[in-house]
Amino acid sequence: MHDLTHPIETGMQTYPGDPPVSVEPVATHEEDGYRESGLSLGSHTGTHVDAPAHIVPGGRTLDEFDPQSFVRTARRVDCRDVEARGAIPADRVPKVESAVDCLVFWTGWDDHWNTDRYLDHPSLSPAAAERCADQDLAVALDTLNPDPTPSDGASDAEPEGFPAHHALLGSGLLLFENLRNLGAVDTRFELRALPLKIDGDGAPVRAVGVDRS
């Protein structure tokens, strides 16, 4: 079992404009006889899952999915050759066997976590996202976003809005973002990434990869 999750901590990186993250003590062993922390964070903090409601008005929220929906037979797709702000083309999306229900795009961009360069990650081309949706595949990535993230490095040639989000979430699929450590798992593995059971558009997860051999 391999941990694929970024830790949640005060001041950690978030999508531009998202709420800042704070993990602060509200009780201590010394003063209260027990320890408790107060958490302040957005629903798309760190390693997390997007529900369709994130993009689709009236879309399914996390509490409408059964727990098994967050346990996926995954296939890792090596995209480490894609450059900063490059688009992963549709021909990189494999035709998968019926048992696979999630594609995990491995860019290696988690190496840049908590830096400005993390914003300039590779993204899925709209056609690649559509090809995933056509196969009814959930998607996971080790990046902040399947679409380009705003930054000083953005170009006018990049698609506007959230076409990859719309292709996937609009098809009722789940989207897992900000994974890490994908080099530790096999090409085929089980992804377990269960969120809090909330009427929500997304939530942090503790993502792990389990070797299937």
| Tens of pLDDT, residues 77-111 | 999 999 999 999 999 999 999 899 999 999 999 99
In whole angstroms, give the CA distance from residue 115 to residue 143.
12
State the pLDDT at residue 111. 98
Whose structure tokens read 């369709």? 52
Query: Domain range holding 147?
Result: 2-211
Please answer whether residues 123 and 146 qualify as being in contact, where contact means their C-beta atoms are separated by less than 8 angstroms.
yes
Q: Whose CA is closest to 204, among 86, 62, 27?
A: 62
In whole angstroms, give the CA distance from residue 13 to residue 144.
9
State the pLDDT at residue 79. 98
Question: Which runs of consecutive H residues, i.e. helices, occur in 7-84?
Answer: 29-32
- CATH number of the structural domain spanning residue 56: 3.50.30.50
State the pLDDT at residue 28. 97
Residue type, 176: F
User: Per the structure, how many domains does the chain have?
Assistant: 1
State the pLDDT at residue 57. 96
- The parts of the chain modelled with pLDDT lower than 50 are none
